[in-house]
Amino acid sequence: MLLVLILATGLWGVGYVAGTSKTARVVSVSVLLAGVILSHLILPDGHPLREATGGSAALWLILVGFAALALLYGRGLKALRKRAGSASEQEPAMPSDRFTETELDRYARHIVLRELGGPGQKKLKKARVLVIGAGGLGAPALQYLAAAGVGTIGVVDDDVVENANLQRQVIHRDADIEMPKVFSAQQAMEAQNPNVVVLPYHRRLSDEIATDLFAEFDLILDGTDNFGTRYLANRTAVALAKPLISGALSQWEGQLSVFDPTNGSPCYQCIFPEAPAPGLAPSCSEAGVIGPLPGVVGSMMAVEAIKVITGAGMALRGEMLIYDALYGESRKITLTRRDDCPVCGSAND
């Protein structure tokens, strides 16, 4: 048996010195071992060659089995490392603080604005904004945030594009039907502005992920159409001291506000303590909605996001803007923080 191992080592060493490939060396040693095992299976007991090579094929079969397992383990480990390496290479690079000439030209209309200028545009580039929902409100908000140069934009939604969405969710196209909305939106945003990083999360916002997800962003935009998610987004944003821009739609009317208790404004639950009874606040699919209305309100949400990020003007903290598209009217109402609010009230301070 020792003789065979010496021969195998010699074959490997000669091949290494000669510069042959690792595969060729493995094949030569394998042929040697196969010959030894074959001789044990063919030659009779007591044959000198069998005695000189261990006397039994079982030992060699066990040795070959262990060698094969080791080889498979090594190849599997190498494949996993290669896969991990390629995945890390595909991770989007975080935007740098410097602007390229293309970016300076693209954002020139921002930079000449007195309220923004270069410092404001730099704040946008460094900002991280999460948009909940890639539907009616999320679609225009995402498009304008990307176009404005917000550096990192996350979008979380578990839905797929449907034909009925295309009447108002203009970030999606007919060819995107059945595609997850977050990936459809990502394609459109990256095509619009390759200088931004888009992070798609194809899942439903839940208690299990909300805190960790919100912690990665500076500002949250809520464009959802159900009260459960709105209350969850509000609780999480308040707990993490993140400003929350929330919008809502119904038929011909839209509304939006900036909920930011850290800066003295009420939170969402101060204004809507309880979800309305079933049927009192029908969804867009039940009550209908005029197509351009989400574009108007979603764009307003993007404007508020830019104001919050840069500090320009007066964001809608402590106010709600209501837009009536049917009669072309808009009005603002003052919102008051409630001391007994279970989310942001004095009992929670």
At residue 64's C-alpha, the angle toward residues 60 and 70, to 5°, is 150
**Domain regions of the chain by residue span:** 2-90, 101-348
DSSP-derived letter for residue 256 is E
Strands 319-324 and 152-156: unpaired
pLDDT score at 89? 44
pLDDT score at 23? 67
Which residue shows structure tokens 């094949």?
27
Residue of 45, 179, 193, 217 lying closest to 106 (CA atoms): 193
Could you tell me the pTM of the whole model?
A: 0.72
Single-letter amino acid, residue 223: G
- Chain center to CA of 6: 55
For the stretch 161-189, pLDDT in tens is: 999 999 999 999 999 999 999 999 999 99
Q: What is the per-residue DSSP string for 95-139?
A: PPSSPPHHHHHHTHHHHTSTTTHHHHHHHHHH-EEEEE-SSTTHH
Q: Band of the pLDDT at 280, cuts 50, 70, 90?
A: low
The pair of three-digit structure tokens given for residue 213, joined into one six-digit string: 């997800």
Q: Band of the pLDDT at 275, cuts 50, 70, 90?
A: confident
The pair of three-digit structure tokens given for residue 58, joined into one six-digit string: 């079982």
Higher pLDDT, 284 or 341: 341
Q: Which residues contact 313 (CB under 8 A, 6 or more apart)?
A: 115, 307
Single-letter amino acid, residue 40: H
For the stretch 124-166, pLDDT in tens is: 999 999 999 999 999 999 999 999 999 999 999 999 999 999 9
Residue of 202, 218, 239, 250 lying closest to 145 (CA atoms): 218
Residue of 7, 25, 27, 5 lying closest to 15 (CA atoms): 25
pLDDT score at 345? 83
Residue of 242, 233, 215 lying closest to 138 (CA atoms): 233
68 has a pLDDT exceeding 80: no
208 has a pLDDT exceeding 50: yes
Say how far apart CA 310 and CA 73 lie, in whole Å: 53
241 has a pLDDT exceeding 70: yes
- What percent of the chain has a predicted confidence (pLDDT) above 70? 69
The domain 101-348 is placed in CATH, from the list 3.40.50.720, 3.30.1180.20, 3.40.50.1460, 3.40.50.300, at 3.40.50.720
pLDDT score at 76? 67
- Residue 169 near residue 137 (C-beta atoms within 8 A): no
Q: Band of the pLDDT at 50, cuts 50, 70, 90?
A: low
Mean pLDDT of the chain: 85
